[in-house]
Amino acid sequence: MTNICTCKRRDFTKLLLTGSLGFSFWLSSTLSAKADHKAKALVLSCIDFRFIDFEQNFLINSNLEHEFDWLSLAGASLALNDFPSHADTEVFWEQLALSNQLHHIEKVIILDHQDCGAYASKIDAKLSENPEKELQTHRQYLSQAKSIIKEKYSNLEVELYFVHLDGKVEEI
């Protein structure tokens, strides 16, 4: 009978210890998430799910260490040109202002991508069939987005990238 009681007490102690360690981890995670923090960048990407892993790997390998705010709007750079509506442009500016105010960002990173449906619907349905024209069109809209951002936020760096279907990320 003494063995059973000791065993149950030992199990209870293990359970209590495990629970308290878990609670401590949860509490420290919660507290560290609430602590003052700074993001290095606001990232604007397209909503296309095919590129999320490529983009995330690129950002992590760019020494951002998950220290970025991420905003996804159809067409990425097109969002600064009222696509699909002016509301998307407003959302971008509101989120940029908040990211800058709350997280003290240093730069904006815009990630456009190959075979973008938003570009196909706004510019040319067959745009992706001509890779040279496609890249040139993205360069044009990305550069325009950079100029617009720099007008309002001259203190922020703006980096522009084009993500290919194979995952290659090209700086624009």
| Residue 104 structure tokens | 């003290």
Which residue would you say has higher pLDDT here, 16 or 49? 49
Q: What percent of the chain has pLDDT over 70?
A: 79
pLDDT the model gives residue 64: 83
Of 59, 58, 63, 46, nearest to 142 (Cα)? 46
The mean per-residue pLDDT over the stretch 21-43 comes to: 61
Per-residue model confidence (pLDDT) at position 4: 52
Calculate the alpha carbon distances from 43 to 15, 99, 108 in Å.
43, 10, 6
Among the residue ranges 26-30, 118-122, 142-146, the one predicted with the least confidence is: 26-30
Nearest residue to 64 via CA among 133, 153, 161: 161
Whether the full predicted model's pTM is greater than 0.85, yes or no, is no
Q: What does the pLDDT look like over 80-121, one tens digit per residue?
A: 998 889 999 999 999 999 999 999 999 999 999 999 999 999
